[in-house]
Structure formats: structure tokens, C-alpha cells
A and B are shown apart, each in its own frame.
Chain A
Amino acid sequence: GAVVSQHPSRVICKSGTSVKIECRSLDFQATTMFWYRQFPKKSLMLMATSNEGSKATYEQGVEKDKFLINHASLTLSTLTVTSAHPEDSSFYICSAPIAGNSYEQYFGPGTRLTVT
């Protein structure tokens, strides 16, 4: 199957700082990537759709100024959590469908963010 990586896998930061999370498709190109957030013992909630070459599309209730998304190339999307607060602590997961196959999605291993 297709491989999606995320970096870092785990990060601890202080309140008020910004954190960047990278999502890469390693063996395929992805014109679209998706960012999810998962709280403990809960399901995945879609935050935004990252589009290569254009602005991201955010789900209702997600602050686009707090969660900055940049889809720099066909294999890289980044999520920056700006001015992080303890309530931003969560597990962030990205996914990507293979370009040309718009249905099956592959997920990264996730990034656990802890804001102190």
C-alpha cells in the first residue's frame, strides 16, 4: 500500500509558541491531503482539506488563522498550530488519496502534540 509519513511523531511545546507538522506522501503524488484531529478515546474529526497550489478548505468551527495549512508540493503538506494553547493538545493525523484514484485514502502515523 501507499506510504504517508508525518514529522514529528511527538512534540511538546510551551503555550504561545507555534508548531509545524509535516505530512509527506512517500511513493505517490497527492494533489489533496486531509488533516484530522483525534481526542483520546474519540473518533477522527476532519479539520481541513489541503489543496496543492490553492488555499486550504476548513471545516466549520476550525480556526484557519490558528491552524495554518500549506500544500507546498505534490508530496508535502504542513499544518502549523500558531500560538498554541493547552486545549490544542491532541493527536493530529494526515491522509492522502493517490492522485487519479480519488477514493482510497492512506493515513500517516500521526503526531501527538502536547502544549504545556
Chain B
Amino acid sequence: GIQVEQSPPDLILQEGANSTLRCNFSDSVNNLQWFHQNPWGQLINLFYIPSGTKQNGRLSATTVATERYSLLYISSSQTTDSGVYFCAVQEYGNKLVFGAGTILRVKS
């Protein structure tokens, strides 16, 4: 099956800093989503981005499908950005395959 790798596994930032999270995947995909899992476990949809670039406030994402990677940019980080960021790609039949996640901690 498809493999999804995220890097870095852990990241500590000072408030106000910028960061880039990476997601590599091993095969062509129909869908790629980025999620933020908050401390209570809720997965929050950040981007649905099978290709191209999108921006939403301080967050933006780029997927280069031909090279099988996606990047999530967080600018001017805030303590509320802390949590786990997951990349997930859609395999056949609507099934999402998740990466291992990046644990982000933003210090004030």
C-alpha cells in the first residue's frame, strides 16, 4: 500500500517563528489533506490540497503531485498552533492513509 512519511517528527518553536512541515508519499494520490489534532483529540481540517497551493490566514500549503510531496507552512506561530499535524492521502475507495504526524510545540 501507499506509504506516507512526515518530517520532522517533533518541532519546538518560539512564538512568532515560521515553520515548514513536509509530507512525502510513495504513489499517485487523488486526495491529500492536512489536519491539526488539538489537545482534545479533534481533527481539524486545514487543507484539502491534491495539487497546487492554498492559503488560509497564517497557514498555507503546497502539493507537488508529480514529485509526490506536500508542504505545510505556518507563519508567525502562536501557542494555539501547538498540537499534532497530520498529512493524509487518499488511496483507492476513499480510504485515507495517515502519516505518523509532526508534534509541534510553540513556546511563549
Contacts and interface: CB of A to CB of B under 8 A. Distances in A.
Q: Do A and B come from one complex?
A: yes
Interface of A: 1, 32, 34, 38, 42-46, 49, 91, 93, 95, 97, 102-107, 109-110, 112
A106 B43 CA distance: 8
Interface in B56-108: 86, 88, 90, 93-101
B42 A107 contact: yes
B33 A102 contact: no
Interface residues of B, number: 23
5 contacts: A34-B94, A43-B98, A49-B93, A103-B31, A103-B90
B96 A110 contact: no
Contacts of B97: 46
B45 A104 contact: yes
A109 B42 contact: yes
A43 B86 contact: yes
Q: Identify which of B88, B93, B96 gathers the most chain A CB atoms within 10 Å of its CB.
A: B96
Contacts of A107: 35, 42-43, 45
Interface of B: 30-31, 33, 35, 40-43, 45, 48, 50, 86, 88, 90, 93-101
Given A46-B96, A49-B93, A103-B50, 13 more contacts: A43-B98, A43-B101, A44-B98, A45-B98, A93-B41, A97-B94, A102-B94, A103-B30, A104-B33, A107-B35, A107-B45, A110-B42, A112-B41
Q: Identify which of A1, A42, A43, A95 gathers the most chain B CB atoms within 10 Å of its CB.
A: A43
B100 A34 contact: no
Given A91-B41, A93-B43, A110-B41, A43 B99 contact: yes
A112 B48 CA distance: 27
Given A43-B101, A104-B31, A34 B41 contact: no
A99 B84 CA distance: 28
Nearest to B50: A103
